[in-house]
Amino acid sequence: MSERHRWVIATLVASAMPAIVTAQDTTALRQRLHRLELLRHTAVVAVARAESARRERLDTVRSGALVILVRPGEAWLVRQASAVAWARLDSLYGDEAATLSSTPMLFFLLGRPRPQVAHLYPVIADSAATPPDVAFQLVRAGSAVIRAEADTVLSNWTGPLLLAEVPAATENARAYVELVTAPSEAVRRCYAGTADACAAALGLLAGDPALQWYDVAERRALVADATDFRLGRLRSAADACTLAGSDSACLEVLHANGIQPPLSTDARQSLVRLTLASGGRGALGRLAHGTSRSLSLRFALAAGMPVDSLILAWRRTIIEAKPKPVTIATARAWTALGWIVLMGLMAFRSSRWR
Amino acid sequence: MFRMILFTQWKWSRLTLLPLVVAAFALPLLSVQGAGNPQTTPWEARQLLNALQSWGVGYPVLATMIALFMAMTAWSADHRGRHVYALSLPIPRWHYALQRFGAGALLLGAVVIALWLGALFAAGTASIPAGLHAYPTALAVRFALALFLAYAVFFAITAGTTRTAGYVLAIIGGIIVVQVLLEAAGVHVSLIPFIGDRLILWPGPLEIFSGRWMLIDV
């Protein structure tokens, strides 16, 4: 390159600098990211279409932000299911469901070869699947994609799914059973109504979970429960914990072996569900991104309320979801008696003997 | 006359009914056998609930089996004897059927009492972890309702004519055939799940069978 050309390029870059610098503000960067995302999405769909046109013709089914490529023979099934699935995903995840547009899916039925299209998220259903079955698979796939978009702090905290596939009532009832039965000091205090203890039991607080979740006796019991196979080289520490009552030895074993949280993913997912319900359509966006903030602060921002209020609302929800024991409500007992009488009358009313 | 009918039904059913009474007494005891075990872990309460949930299936199954047996026993001799004995009696059919039904129901009372005693004994002897409660009487009441309901259903079917039984079977078979034909024609209508829900969910007749059959629960 000649000396003259270098000067021309340097002059051009220097003259463009103010424009480049002004373009670095957050809003402009977001707009650029959005445009890039759209371009990526268009490119992925175009690549998929080109591949499908070259190898096997596929239809594109769209519903909301869901983009699904499917064999023409199965398009009716996906068309019916995708509307249901999108409504569900949109109601579950709010604005964050729109990010699904950047991950087109490839649907095919089990037992048939996968269409030869790369770069697409696979969704597989049984060959006898009905539209509700396919909708279930699409919701599941959509949920997995949305979870993959969230940062690892949240996705590790919630477990395999951000929200469980079971109905909220079932999930809350399971959480109630855990709240009553978990061998954990933090959980017992949570049940009694202490918000901090609930936050600790849910794993929202920074610090050593072994100390936050369990008291000395519970830690010792957990170590005593560990099998010889799991203890391995920790055998002597385990003996010091269980026989000599050394809490530091108990902590050593628990830290090395991993500590089972007293409240499972059911309880955590129920908190996510409540947070999304309280925080509106943008709640998941605030919850899923923001590694610089603590998890409890993200929950508070997402729900639009102080974390203590959120935690206490969660506790109320769980306690209200207490599973119905074997006792029968009066109305149910009368209904059963009514059916017994009705069936009896059916047997008595006939005048025929044979 | 009721005493005679009761006595004959007792004679016909006792060999099978007695083991079933023992089973009803034993079921709650078996369901809590893991409670208070010194080998259990800190998660004992949760494990106990899981075990009780597994055993819980036994209650509606036992109720159905006993009810089916008693309903069939109540009418089997009449069907075999072509109802000659019943026709020779100076009473209307409904009166005779009512006495047959009452005798069977009275014998079923023994099963309910056995289950209740078993549940009380199990709840009294088991070491129940903190946070859990025993519901022996509620379990027995629910078992009684399920048992009498199943008995009434089977009694109505067995009391009917062969043609009635045929109609019942034809309706069930017809629903299955319609579902299969609709699927084959590409019409996706979930007929069987719809009917199943109407039967199992309140106020359906079989609603009493659904839910948690747990002697010990939260």
Q: What is the pLDDT of residue A21?
A: 45
Percent of chain B with pLDDT over 90: 55
A294 contact partners, CB below 8 Å, separation of at least 6: A206
B42:A225 CB<8 A: yes
B contact residues 7-36, partner A, Cβ 8 Å cutoff: none
Q: Give Cα B187 distance to the centre of its chain.
A: 36
A328:B141 CB<8 A: yes
For A301-350, the pLDDT digits (tens) are 999 999 999 999 999 999 999 988 888 889 989 999 999 999 988 888 76
> A297 - beta bridge partners?
none
Kindly list the distances between the CA atom of residue B81 and the CA atoms of A34, A354, B88, in Å, as whole numbers in the listed order: 85, 11, 12
C-beta atoms surrounding A11 within 10 Å: 10
Better-predicted residue by pLDDT, B40 or A300: A300
Complex-level ipTM: 0.87
> A123 - beta bridge partners?
A107
Q: At what angle do helices A216-225 and A247-257 cross, to 10 degrees?
A: 50
Which of A79, A176, A263, A343 best tests the B interface by mutation, with the highest count of B CBs <10 A?
A: A343
User: Taking residues B189-202, what's their average pLDDT?
Assistant: 87
A326 → closest Cβ in B42, B43, B214 = B214
A334/B contact by beta carbon, under 8 A? no
> CB of A324 within 8 A of CB of B136?
no
B166 contact partners, CB below 8 Å, separation of at least 6: none
User: B165 falls in which pLDDT band (50, 70, 90)?
Assistant: confident
For B107-119, the pLDDT digits (tens) are 999 999 999 999 9
Q: What is the pLDDT of residue B164?
A: 79
Q: Any idea what DSSP says for residue A304?
A: T
Q: What is the pLDDT of residue A22?
A: 47
Radius of gyration of chain A (CA): 28
Residues of B in contact with A225 (CB under 8 A): 41-43
For residue A272, give both structure tokens: 């996510």
For B133-162, the pLDDT digits (tens) are 999 999 999 999 999 999 999 999 888 777
Q: How far apart are CA A58 and CA A117, in angstroms?
A: 10
A326:B215 CB<8 A: yes
Q: Which residues of B103-125 are buried (b: 16+ CB within 10 A; e: fewer)?
A: bbbebbeebbebbbebbbebbee
For residue B104, give both structure tokens: 């069977």
Q: What is the pLDDT of residue A53?
A: 59
User: Sign of the C-alpha dihedral, residues A338, A344, A346, A348?
Assistant: negative
Q: How far apart are CA A321 and CA A326, in angstroms?
A: 15
Q: Which residues of A111-150 are buried (b: 16+ CB within 10 A; e: fewer)?
A: eeeebebeebbebebeeebbbeebbbbbbebbbbbbbebb
Q: What is the pLDDT of residue A354?
A: 46
A119 contact partners, CB below 8 Å, separation of at least 6: A44, A47, A48
Q: Any idea what DSSP says for residue A95?
A: G
B153:A353 CB<8 A: no
> A125 - beta bridge partners?
A109
Lowest-pLDDT range of A224-228, A232-236, B24-28, B42-46: A224-228
Closest CA–CA distance from residue B196 to any residue of chain A (Å): 16
Residue A112's SS3 state is coil
Q: How far apart are CA B80 and CA B171, in angstroms?
A: 26
Tens-of-pLDDT digits for all 354 residues of chain A?
455 556 555 555 445 554 444 445 666 776 777 778 777 777 776 666 666 656 678 899 999 999 999 999 899 999 999 999 999 999 999 999 999 998 999 999 988 888 877 778 999 998 888 898 999 999 999 999 999 888 888 989 998 888 887 889 999 999 999 999 999 999 999 999 999 999 999 999 999 999 999 999 999 999 988 766 667 788 889 999 999 999 999 999 999 988 889 999 999 999 999 999 999 999 999 998 877 889 999 999 999 999 999 999 999 999 999 988 888 889 989 999 999 999 988 888 765 554
Residue ranges of domains in chain B: 2-161+209-217
Closest CA–CA distance from residue B91 to any residue of chain A (Å): 12
pLDDT of B168 strictly over 90: no
B129:A181 CB<8 A: yes
pTM of the model: 0.74
A352/B contact by beta carbon, under 8 A? yes
